[in-house]
Structure 1
Amino acid sequence: MSTKLAVLPEPDVDETGPYCHLGFAEAKPGYENTVEKLILDLVEPLRAEPGAIEFHVHRDRTEPRLFVIYEVFRSKKDLEEHITQPYTQEFIQKIQSCVTGPLRQQFLRMCSELPATRVGKG
């Protein structure tokens, strides 16, 4: 995992929805609770960002070392700004020694409608 800004795929030309990201992390044996805490520490500051719409942390029920982060931002630019936040950079530095490899990432195009109540931030 690098602390440099990831190269995010461009939205499709006809895309009008938010910019979505999935992150996958596998904790080293014995680091499961540390990884969970590190990720959960992102919840409050990330949800306070003006461009953040959703942020959820998941732990696999059958493989408790596996974590999935689901986040939705108003735009690609908002996600890029999130990545540059000091707390995000600190998270990236801290988690590296606790996981088996780099954070795997997927960038998604939202096909369903996002309820207007979720988009109305800032």
Structure 2
Amino acid sequence: MKKKLSLVAFIYAKPEYQDELATKLKSLIDLSRSEAGCINYDLHQSSDDPTVFIMYENWHDRSDLDQHFKMPYIQEIMKILPEMLRAPLVMHYLDMLSNPITSS
């Protein structure tokens, strides 16, 4: 049985790009959620530092996430991220040990 995979990405915007980056990240949500391998795809913004965004994603397996990274909308944002970030993008890949909760 394939392991489900979680990805937690920490995104640190330059203050002058905070609003623009938030808009761009929000535009990825519905597109990513529509991918066959996506379990959930959620964007968060820090209450303490609004320049910090966190993506929390769950995928059926690593190949689904690999396919996600090949999508044109992901490729497009990855090209512009370096200019908008004050620190490197940090991604943690996690094997899911519990079953995901699905909404009814």
Fold-level similarity (TM above 0.5): yes
1:42 has 2:28 as partner: yes
Of the two, which has the highest radius of gyration?
1
Q: CA deviation at 1:94?
A: 2.1
The residue identity in structure 1 corresponding to 2:35 is E
The residue identity in structure 1 corresponding to 2:78 is I
Q: Give 1:83's aligned residue.
A: 69
Instruction: State percent identity of aligned pairs.
Output: 27
Could you say which structure has the higher strand fraction?
A: 2
Which of the numbers 40, 47, 53 marks the counterpart of 2:39?
Answer: 53
Provide structure 1 residue ranges, at least 5 long, that are not aligned to the other structure.
Answer: 1-14
Runs of 4+ in structure 1 over 6 Å off: none
Q: Please list the CA deviations of residues 49-107 of structure 1 after superposition, one character each: whole Å capped at 9, or x if unmatched.
A: 00111000000001111010001111100000000111110011122211113210101
Rounded Cα–Cα distance in structure 1 between residues aligned with 2:65 and 2:32: 10
Q: Give 1:110's aligned residue.
A: 96
TM (norm. structure 1) is 0.78
1:93 has 2:76 as partner: no
Residue correspondences, number: 103
The residue identity in structure 2 corresponding to 1:88 is I
TM (norm. structure 2) is 0.90
Rounded Cα–Cα distance in structure 1 between residues aligned with 2:19 and 2:27: 12
Q: CA deviation at 1:44?
A: 1.1
Query: Is 2:2–2:61's contact at 8 Å kept on the other side of the alignment?
Result: no
Rounded Cα–Cα distance in structure 2 between residues aligned with 1:16 and 1:74: 8
Bigger shift: 26-35 or 70-79? 26-35
Rounded Cα–Cα distance in structure 2 between residues aligned with 1:104 and 1:25: 7
Q: CA deviation at 1:16?
A: 4.7
Q: Please list the CA deviations of residues 17-51 of structure 1 after superposition, one character each: whole Å capped at 9, or x if unmatched.
A: 41110111111022111111111110111011001
Bigger shift: 56-65 or 103-112? 103-112
